Amino acid sequence: MKILYGTGNIAKINSMKNMLRNLEIEIISLNDVNLKVEKIYENGNSPLENAKIKAFAYYKVWGKPVFSCDSALYIDRMDFYHQPGVHVRRINGGELNDEEMIKYYTELASKAGGEVKAKYKNAICLILDEKKVFEYDGNDIAEEFIITSEPHKKRKRGFPLDSISKDIKTGKYYMDLSYYTESQKNMINGFRDFFIRSLVL
């Protein structure tokens, strides 16, 4: 089945394609189609709300199977009102570029003592048609990791926080890993299970 992934972020597209490898799904992205979509306001209070906002906006124009994802970032020992939440890039009314994100979150880690545990709460909304809408934000598609105050020299466009993320178990930088962390493996299996359930693969 061919499904439109509602994003133009190449890093996210490749990541999802790798996660769903060997399933009977062909993922295409906004880079592959010519869609005229009005500006989408991601004003939801949770990743699932934002995933639904985006998925329905794209389905309205595309009219064929589409899915969108969204994430929220939660940092240990940070009070609720200062959590990034769904505003991972949108800080103090502005939108940060990749390097600004790295600077902002390394400063948070520094204030926490140099390293701090964090968690991505992920969500997905899949629309096959007007009557078949599937949504999910379970803990099995979340990801736990460490944010460090010392950035890695390498960068991954589209995933800036990978440069300051470490595997909880080994303490290795994401940029140096040649394998998936345990948390990432669980997340991958969670996304695969979602599509298998929804599409009855």
DSSP structure string for 92-160: TTEE--HHHHHHHHHHHHHHTTSEEEEEEEEEEEEEEETTEEEEE--GGG-EEEEEESS--S---TT-G
72 forms beta bridges with: 121
User: Measured between alpha carbons, how far is residue 23 from residues 17, 117, 198 in Å?
Assistant: 10, 33, 13
pLDDT at residue 201, as a whole number? 80
From 32, 70, 140, 176, the catalytic residue: 70
Give the residue from 137, 117, 158 showing the smallest Cα distance to 68. Answer: 137
How far is residue 66's CA from residue 57's CA, in Å, rounded to a whole number? 10
70 carries an active-site annotation: yes
Output the CATH code of domain 2-199.
3.90.950.10
What is the reported pTM?
A: 0.92
Say which residue, 154 or 82, is predicted with more confidence: 154
**pLDDT for residue 106 is more than 90:** yes
Say which range, 85-94, 123-132, 140-149, 168-177, has the weakest mean pLDDT.
Answer: 85-94
Average of pLDDT values for 126-138? Answer: 98
Average pLDDT, the chain: 95
Give the residue from 104, 114, 99, 106 showing the smallest Cα distance to 171. Answer: 114
Q: For the chain, what are the domain ranges?
A: 2-199
